[in-house]
Amino acid sequence: MVDTAALLAAYDTQMRMAHGTVPSGLTYEYDGPVLRIVGGPVGRIRTPRDLGVTGAELDRLIARQRDYFRARGEGVEWKLVAHDLPEELPERLVAAGFAPEEPATVLLGHAGEVATEPVLPGGVVLRQVTAAEDLRRFADHQTVVTGADCSWVAADLGARVAAAPGLITILVAEAGERIVCTAIAVYYPGTDFVALLGGATLPEWQRRGLYRAMIAARAREAVTRGFRLLHVDASPASAPILRRCGFHKITTSRHYQWTPPPEAIAAPAC
């Protein structure tokens, strides 16, 4: 029997706030209980489970974050987990102009149970990358798979590698010279956790075991490095695969996005 309560407690204690070396170009700032991450493609807000404020004080805390990024001409996302407190936080965020995205399933897995030998389709090679050109190709692949502009991913990954190359693994699966699947592992020193991010497979290569192979490869590396737990905020498409690989649902998460009005966005310098 899996002790999901213990897994949730570990997640709340170790994974709610940022850890480790700050990536190049980012700044971490605290406003009371809130961690504000500045310098990325959008601002990010991370919080402990309980903000410890309610009512008008909570409204002021939310407004300060929104207005901080409004002054920068940038959007901001506030990550909310289903069991966060106060319970009024979602409605207060919406009242302040934040729009909820679709929820993700928070899944945790024991690395030692998930780690297996990656099984790749014939002709596919798994490779760890850090070079700028490979990171650009990684970002281009993500753009193709998601349908969104992921060009910013190359700079984000480059900053992470520059700041602490030992705290991230960037994987590509290639068929010839074409990337067919991508994945990332981020290591959190001083915790039990490795976060699995960025899993994306070209549509014509799906259902051929690539995503499972990426999970296995990252789990094996986590075990080698001495990490015990794996964390994923999973989409509806990936959650069933992860659960078949041994992951356990502990809660759900949701990003609330605030986008600045056009007049607040700074014009590019000439």
Q: pLDDT tens digits, residue range 167-222?
A: 999 999 999 999 999 999 999 999 999 999 989 999 999 999 999 999 999 999 99
Q: What is the pLDDT of residues 88-133, one digit of tens each?
A: 999 999 999 999 999 999 999 999 999 999 999 999 999 999 999 9
Domain positions in the chain are 7-103+254-264, 109-251
**What predicted TM-score, i.e. pTM, was given to this entire model?**
0.91
Please report where in the chains the tokens 């959190």 appear, as a residue: 188
Q: What is the pLDDT of residues 146-167, one digit of tens each?
A: 999 999 999 999 999 998 999 9
* Residue 266 predicted with pLDDT over 60: no
Sequential DSSP letters for 97-131: T-EE---EEEEEEEHHHH-------TTEEEEE--S
CATH level 3 topology of 109-251: Aminopeptidase (3.40.630)
Name the CA radius of gyration of the chain, rounded.
19
Confidence at 51, pLDDT banded by 50, 70, 90: very high
Structure token digits, residue 157:
């990954």
Q: Which of 149, 144, 230 is nearest to 179 (CA)?
A: 144
The answer to whether 46 and 79 are in contact (CB under 8 A) is yes
Angle at 89 between CA 93 and CA 250, to 5 degrees: 115
Please report where in the chains the tokens 């959008």 appear, as a residue: 42
